[in-house]
């Protein structure tokens, strides 16, 4: 194999590995940032703290602000473009999906650890932390996903949240 090509392949491997470590390293920043939005009201189609968030808008904003990755807009699209993991493998910052509207992947939240997740639940409510182990969420659980650099729709140059 050409040495130049081999060198390029090694550089690409290091770049992908570095980005994967960046996502993992920022998981605690991501959860901490998300916790700063507790109490922000739900708004269907909402994308900001000023107007309110829906579930996928909240997840998308947290990943963009904290990790610099832009996820797709809808929960089902986020599920389709992220890496499937087993529920037992959940780590803070992973995504958890639920069937809350009689269709798969209709709701998403961010796993925070200890069986809990943060999300923007529904109209008339606000961003909060809930226990996935209660029967309501157990019955509706659709799966867990991990966000990797390759899974994001677009990489942005968003600064990390403070």
pTM of structure: 0.80
Tell me: pLDDT of 13 over 90.
no
What confidence tens digit (pLDDT) does each residue in 15-63 have?
555 555 555 668 889 999 999 999 999 999 999 999 999 999 999 999 9
**Range of the structural domain that residue 39 is part of:** 3-155
Asked if the structure places residue 160 within a domain, the reply is no
If you compute the radius of gyration of the chain from its CA atoms, what whole number of angstroms results?
Answer: 16
Annotated catalytic, 119? yes
Q: What is the DSSP letter of 5?
A: H
∠ CA 83-101-141, rounded to 5°: 45
Per the DSSP assignment, residues forming a β-bridge with 85 are: 144
Of these residues, 31, 40, 55, 96, which one is catalytic?
A: 55
What CATH number should be reported for the domain holding residue 122?
3.90.1720.10
Kindly state the helix (H) or strand (E) to which residue 64 belongs, with its residue range.
Answer: helix 55-66
Asked if the structure places residue 103 within a domain, the reply is yes
Cα–Cα distance for residue pair 9/102, rounded to 1 Å: 45
Tell me: pLDDT of 161 over 50.
no
3-state secondary structure of 67: coil
Asked if the structure places residue 17 within a domain, the reply is yes
Give the count of domains, the chain.
1
Of these residues, 119, 142, 144, 149, which one is catalytic?
A: 119
Annotated catalytic, 14? no
Asked if the structure places residue 77 within a domain, the reply is yes
Average pLDDT of the residues of the chain:
86
User: What value does the mean pLDDT take over residues 108-126?
Assistant: 96
| Residue-level pLDDT at 19 | 53
Per the DSSP assignment, residues forming a β-bridge with 52 are: 48
Of these residues, 19, 60, 107, 146, which one is catalytic?
A: 107
- Supply 122's token pair: 């529904």
| Residue-level pLDDT at 122 | 94
């Amino acid at each position: 194999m050409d040495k130049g090509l081999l060198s390029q392949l090694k550089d690409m491997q290091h770049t992908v590995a570095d980005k994967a470590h960046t996502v993992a390293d920022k998981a605690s920043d991501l959860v901490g940032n998300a916790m700063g939005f507790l109490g922000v009201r739900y708004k269907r189609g909402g994308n900001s703290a000023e107007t309110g968030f829906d579930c996928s808008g909240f997840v998308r904003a947290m990943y963009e602000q904290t990790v610099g990755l832009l996820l797709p807009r809808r929960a089902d699209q986020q599920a389709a473009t992220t890496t499937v993991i087993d529920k037992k493998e959940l780590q803070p910052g992973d995504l958890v999906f639920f069937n809350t509207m009689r269709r798969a992947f209709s709701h998403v939240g961010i796993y925070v650890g200890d069986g809990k997740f943060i999300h923007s639940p529904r109209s008339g409510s606000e961003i909060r932390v809930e226990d996935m182990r209660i029967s309501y969420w157990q019955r509706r659980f659709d799966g867990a996903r991990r966000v990797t650099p390759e899974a994001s729709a677009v990489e942005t140059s968003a600064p990390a949240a403070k």
